[in-house]
Structure 1
């Protein structure tokens, strides 16, 4: 998780409730201001965990019986009926893939496994050129198509939703909280989050963006969030080194190799946590120049942290300053 949540603040009146637990190989947490007519925390937790269990059943690549892993096991020229959330994520990912000219792609799971990062990975190592070339025949969003309620493939591709599933889960949880009459909350799943309303003392929810370091957690900037999703993608926690070179778990699907530029992390703020999740990954893949141009063109609220000889350099888009309550520098 590359987001630290700043939740200090106290007040009188309605109590603050907190709940959480394990999910998706990490954790989730919910904090909300409980009104007199709000449901009990146990009911809220049951509703949240029902959503998380459904996302896991549909989209997890770490269980062989999930909808997406059953699809991944099918040979080329196969179709499978899918629940609408899975088809929604495929549509969103196709849009991001087209806009990034194929750099962002959901079909990278075989690459993750080959390089040692995926659910079926063995050793973290640089693959041979021959192994990579053979596997690249099974990479590419163009091999997927939706036909009615079915997802189809014309090659033996494997889909990985890890770049957007948590964002989708947060949006779904946020909608459920609103339906339960909870309007002042912060919902977080594996580091992707959405906040709305105010804390107990009437102040905004404050989110601390972490400096991209693997030795300790240091808050780099504090932002206010109300009604937006926030996602950070970084290359500094999951990597391996071989022959003095660092290999990240973030891949450019066009080359089949981990990114090698000096963009350390990207934070995106967006009304949709699903889009924030996908866009933060997309911008990280594109890098400090192409990513910046993309963010400016599409008016994305983005906070870039770039490695430099003297440490880290930050760069923020005007949309990020506006949405986070800051001022453009």
Structure 2
């Protein structure tokens, strides 16, 4: 499977007590593998009558293979790559999954006044972060101006089952595809009768039910450090998706300045504020994925205001002179209240 998300940040650490079996014949099963330029993992409690791990794995990998075929910008034959190759004023029939993500992206773009945008791929490539990026460097003003003419969610529209564009824009689902994959996998697990599970892809995850010993699925929110993984806070998750976005592992430095892989489409440049990472907890892993990116783009002040206005459960990690400080939205405290350790 070719990568969809190259170098995707994995900012969540799952803490699992692995028990092989218990007296009633139930067992904890797990499997995983490569996907989207990173990895995926599935853990679930197998009870009497539920499918074997090999059969569940087949179902999960069917989903991941199809998403890769539809949405990967790292393979030229994917649905979205073929659309990206089209000139302006053209349309292409698309699967319902892609049209769904386009609508979610439009919603997030409108709510962020254009800072979040699915069409930033020309900028990503220009700065060296995209699938066609050649060198990580600050681009020349003329090249930047030309790339910005090919960026803008308003150039996309849906007509029936077709996606159309009135400018030569390119769509990149990097900020929401993994969350969509997790939601789709979770729905399939539920359909198979599996109700106690943790599904994770490239760091985005969703958990439901309990572990084999009856304890919750505990998720550790990672402190943004390059040298090691340090748990900043641990929360119990049941029926919710979590996503962390951060700028501390994919960046370059030039002339003493740090340039993140996360872009503010309205500014046409990488973010430069002090927000190091943000975790969102939401019933939908898709929305948690997109919202964590949106809040990271907006930064510590605008992002906080957005989270409070829209009642989003968000955990902010902000750079300070003495290290890092954290801040949680009211919705985050409400959702995780009494379930941290």
* TM-score interval, smaller chain: over 0.9
Structure 2 residue aligned with 1:263:
275
Q: Deviations over 1:58-86 (max 9, x none)?
A: 00010000000000000000100000000
SS of the residue 1:106 aligns to? coil
Which whole-Å CA distance do the structure 1 matches of 2:129 and 2:180 have between them? Answer: 22
Q: Structure 1 residue aligned with 2:119, among 107, 110, 115?
A: 107
Q: Deviations over 1:198-257 (max 9, x none)?
A: 001111100011100111111111000000000000000000000000000000000110
After TM superposition, the score normalised by the length of structure 1 is 0.98
Q: Structure 2 residue aligned with 1:8, among 11, 17, 40?
A: 17
Q: Is the counterpart of residue 219 in structure 1 residue 231 in structure 2?
A: yes
Q: Mapping of 1:139-158 within 5 angstroms? A: 139-158=151-170
SS of the residue 2:47 aligns to? coil
Q: Deviations over 1:179-212 (max 9, x none)?
A: 0000000000000000000001111100011100
Which whole-Å CA distance do the structure 2 matches of 1:140 and 1:172 have between them? Answer: 28
After TM superposition, the score normalised by the length of structure 2 is 0.95
Q: Mapping of 1:83-162 within 5 angstroms? A: 83-162=95-174
SS of the residue 2:258 aligns to? strand
Cα contact 1:76–1:157 (8 A) shared by 2: yes
**Aligned structure 1 segments of 4 or more residues deviating by more than 6 angstroms:** none
How big is the shift at 1:327? 7.8
Q: Deviations over 1:130-187 (max 9, x none)?
A: 1101111110000000000000000000000010000000000000000000000000
Closer, same or farther: CA 306–326 of 1 in aligned 2, 3 Å:
farther
Closer, same or farther: CA 9–46 of 1 in aligned 2, 3 Å:
closer
Which whole-Å CA distance do the structure 2 matches of 1:272 and 1:2 have between them? Answer: 18
Q: Is the counterpart of residue 72 in structure 1 residue 84 in structure 2?
A: yes
Q: Is the counterpart of residue 281 in structure 1 residue 297 in structure 2?
A: no
Structure 2 residue aligned with 1:175:
187
SS of the residue 1:269 aligns to? strand
Closer, same or farther: CA 111–97 of 1 in aligned 2, 3 Å:
same
Give me the CA root mean square deviation.
1.1
Q: Structure 1 residue aligned with 2:41, among 15, 29, 43?
A: 29
Which whole-Å CA distance do the structure 1 matches of 2:286 and 2:113 have between them? Answer: 20
How big is the shift at 1:324? 2.2
Q: Structure 2 residue aligned with 1:253, among 262, 265, 271?
A: 265
What are structure 1's unaligned runs of at least 5 residues? none
Which whole-Å CA distance do the structure 1 matches of 2:321 and 2:22 have between them? Answer: 48
SS of the residue 2:42 aligns to? strand
Q: Is the counterpart of residue 196 in structure 1 residue 208 in structure 2?
A: yes
Cα contact 1:199–1:205 (8 A) shared by 2: yes
Structure 1 residue aligned with 2:334:
322
What are structure 2's unaligned runs of at least 5 residues? 1-9
Which whole-Å CA distance do the structure 1 matches of 2:75 and 2:241 have between them? Answer: 27
